[in-house]
Amino acid sequence: MTSEDLAVYRGILEAGRAGRLCALATVVATRGSTPRKNGAKMLVDPAEGLVGTVGGGCGEAQVINAAKEALETGLPRMIRVDLTDDPLSWSGAICGGVLEVFVEPVFPFGQ
């Protein structure tokens, strides 16, 4: 377990104790070259911000948007973050791989 993992788990505990809903994103599969590998985690806490990372940049923005949706609906979801080069993009993807990320709401304790 890394220090980043510990920070994510600490963030979950703090949010739970404070009665805040947050979302946990976990990389569950990768293909090709990706900035993070299986098991990488990021906590999205609307009151406190982000803890951890699933890779940064536009891909991470996509995960943050999915986390917001999970917070609104209360439902988990799986998303695909494609970091392959898109010929229509104004900035080429750097990594060239694909991440599968599971995003789940984490409810406050006792709910």
pLDDT digits (tens, 9 = 90+) for 40-72: 999 999 999 999 999 888 889 999 999 999 999
> What CA–CA distance (Å, rounded) separates 96 from 31?
9
Amino acid at 84: T
Total domains present in the chain: 1
The predicted model gives 79-102 an average pLDDT of: 74
Domain ranges, residue 76: 3-106
Tell me if 101 is assigned to some domain.
yes
The confidence band for 106, taking pLDDT boundaries of 50, 70 and 90, is: very high
Determine, yes or no, domain membership for 111: no
Asked whether residue 86 carries a pLDDT value surpassing 80, the answer given is no
In a domain, 52, yes or no: yes
In-domain check, residue 17: yes
Which pLDDT value is given to residue 99? 94
| Average pLDDT over the chain, rounded to an integer | 89
Inside any domain, residue 19? yes
pLDDT score of 75: 97
Q: Does some domain include residue 69? A: yes
Region at 32 (left for phi over 0; alpha for psi -120 to 50; beta for the rest): left
**C-alpha distances in Å from residue 29, one per residue of 17, 59, 80, 85, 102:** 31, 14, 9, 19, 9
pTM exceeds 0.85 for this model: yes
